[in-house]
Amino acid sequence: MAEASVRTEPVTAQELAEALAAAAAQRQSIKLGTPPVPGVPGEVEISTSRMTRLLEYEPRDLTISVEAGMKYGELQRILAANNQMVPLDPPWDDEVTLAGILGANLNGPRRRLYGTARDLVIGMTFATLEGKLVKTGGMVVKNVAGLDMGKLMIGSFGTLAAIATVNFKLNPIPKETATFCYSFDSAAAAFTLRDRVLKGQIQPAALDLLNPAASQAVGLAPTWNLLSLAVAMPERFLREYSGGTTVDNQIWRAIANFTATSNATTIARYSTTHMGMKDLVRDGIATPVIARAASGIVYLYDPATLPQNAPYVLERAPQGADRWPKPDAGNLAVMRNIKNMLDPHGLLNKGALYGRI
């Protein structure tokens, strides 16, 4: 298939819908994204980079509506003026667009407390290949209007439609936060404290476990380090879980951006249980390992082997590698049926969803 030769940058949602419809009418393959997903074939590129307007903002209602081409860093700067935030912690936080965050379902350490994009998005408008604009959800935090089509778009890598606008529920920026680092000689010792925290009454906003290689890479001592972000009464957290040292809160940005800045050839993201995590995060691994210790997500960077005891995808992989080795057959069939409904000719971001869709 030919490489993209035509680039379109719509300014409005309606122009975005028209650009999609025009390409679909010619059966042209489409690269969608800002920047487009690398390695995806396409005769036409459609970018939302010029769709950056603030559409509606109600600080007292804790809601905001913006165009999907706005960069995450700009959104956070707008909200900071009212001491508010959208706490997704994506990599490339200054440069990534909201469409990119939602399309790839990017999130970071604070998902423990605040959830992922599916928890923070309350409404959306997306453009289909038929040239239609579909609105889902709204501008209220509680919405029971029926099937939320927007949740299909989150994590779809632009394979179904193009996100045009997005509505978020907001969170206040905590008045005080502190990051505590607990260092251990072994993974087992670190998990002992992790398990205690999970059962405790005082819960952190983030709880990440780094092996010695990952710790050294982000500027910590090359030991096992369990990092906890306390957002309510940090002094009480430290009394409850003694032995920690205070480190700069900027460490979380380094961790959130680790995947983006890593030189690893292979990056595997595993989804597992709290107990299953102990089989993946263990002593003796020479390359970096970062675990969302309270969320069941583990990142392995250039591992010597790819363990098979938990489902995973390869966020980065050598050319030709199977990036999603064992998708659930039933779920994959449903996903393909949805793809066929919205994009029957397979024009949008072909193969962007880990090479499967």
Instruction: Indicate if 42 and 169 belong to the same structural domain.
Output: yes
Weakest-pLDDT range from 85-89, 134-138, 212-216, 281-285: 134-138
Mean pLDDT of 160-187: 97
Show Cβ contacts of residue 27 under 8 Å, excluding neighbours closer than 6 positions. 345, 347
Instruction: Indicate if 38 and 118 belong to the same structural domain.
Output: yes
Residue 243 maps to a domain: yes
Mean pLDDT of 143-156: 78
pLDDT tens readout for residues 111-139: 999 999 999 999 999 999 999 999 998 88
SS in 3 state form for 80-110? HCCCEECCCCCCCCCCCEHHHHHHHCCCCCC
Cα 248 to chain centroid, rounded: 23
Mean pLDDT of 36-41: 64
Residue 198 maps to a domain: yes
Mean pLDDT of 44-52: 95
Structural tokens at position 283:
């002593």
For residue 81, the model assigns a pLDDT of 97
Given CA atoms 94, 99, 104, 105 in this order, what sign does their dihedral have?
Answer: positive
Instruction: Indicate if 183 and 218 belong to the same structural domain.
Output: yes
- Segment (H or E) for 199: helix 187-199
pLDDT tens readout for residues 285-320: 999 999 999 999 999 999 999 999 999 999 999 988
**pLDDT over 90 for what percent of the chain?**
86
Asked if residue 33 has pLDDT above 80, the reply is no
Residue 322 maps to a domain: no
Residue 211 maps to a domain: yes
For residue 37, the model assigns a pLDDT of 59
Residue 157 and residue 37 in contact, taking contact as beta carbons nearer than 8 Å: yes
- The model's confidence at residue 2, banded by pLDDT at 50, 70 and 90, is very low
For residue 247, the model assigns a pLDDT of 97
- The model's confidence at residue 1, banded by pLDDT at 50, 70 and 90, is very low
Number of H helices, E strands in the chain: 13, 18
Instruction: Indicate if 196 and 306 belong to the same structural domain.
Output: yes
Asked if residue 276 has pLDDT above 70, the reply is yes
Burial class (CB in 10 A: 0-12, 13-18, 19+), 115: middle
pLDDT tens readout for residues 60-88: 999 999 999 999 999 999 999 999 999 99
Structural tokens at position 275:
């107990």
Structural tokens at position 291:
């675990």
- The model's confidence at residue 232, banded by pLDDT at 50, 70 and 90, is confident
Structural tokens at position 137:
């959800």
Asked if residue 205 has pLDDT above 50, the reply is yes
Mean pLDDT of 95-116: 95
Instruction: Indicate if 186 and 127 belong to the same structural domain.
Output: no
Domain that holds residue 190: 178-316
For residue 35, the model assigns a pLDDT of 52
Instruction: Indicate if 155 and 168 belong to the same structural domain.
Output: yes
Given CA atoms 26, 29, 30, 35 in this order, what sign does their dihedral have?
Answer: negative
Q: Which residue has the higher pLDDT, 355 or 163?
A: 163
For residue 42, the model assigns a pLDDT of 87
* Number of domains the chain contains: 2
Instruction: Indicate if 193 and 275 belong to the same structural domain.
Output: yes
Instruction: Indicate if 333 and 202 belong to the same structural domain.
Output: no
Show Cβ contacts of residue 152 under 8 Å, excluding neighbours closer than 6 positions. 160, 338
Other CB atoms within a 10 A radius of the CB of residue 221 amount to: 12
Residue 61 maps to a domain: yes
Residue 241 and residue 182 in contact, taking contact as beta carbons nearer than 8 Å: yes
Residue 321 maps to a domain: no
For residue 252, the model assigns a pLDDT of 97
Residue 110 maps to a domain: yes
Instruction: Indicate if 189 and 164 belong to the same structural domain.
Output: no
CATH number of the domain within which 122 lies: 3.30.465.10
Instruction: Indicate if 339 and 278 belong to the same structural domain.
Output: no
Closest Cα to residue 156, out of 349, 337, 299? 349
Tell me the C-alpha distance between 123 and 121, whole Å: 6
For residue 233, the model assigns a pLDDT of 84
Other CB atoms within a 10 A radius of the CB of residue 317 amount to: 17
Instruction: Indicate if 88 and 208 belong to the same structural domain.
Output: no
Q: Which amino acid is at 251?
A: I
Cis-peptide, bond into residue 234, ω within 30° of zero = no
Instruction: Indicate if 259 and 184 belong to the same structural domain.
Output: yes
pTM: 0.92
Residue 37 maps to a domain: yes
Residues in the chain: 357
- The model's confidence at residue 38, banded by pLDDT at 50, 70 and 90, is low
Weakest-pLDDT range from 64-68, 143-147, 156-160: 143-147
Tell me the C-alpha distance between 33 and 43, whole Å: 14
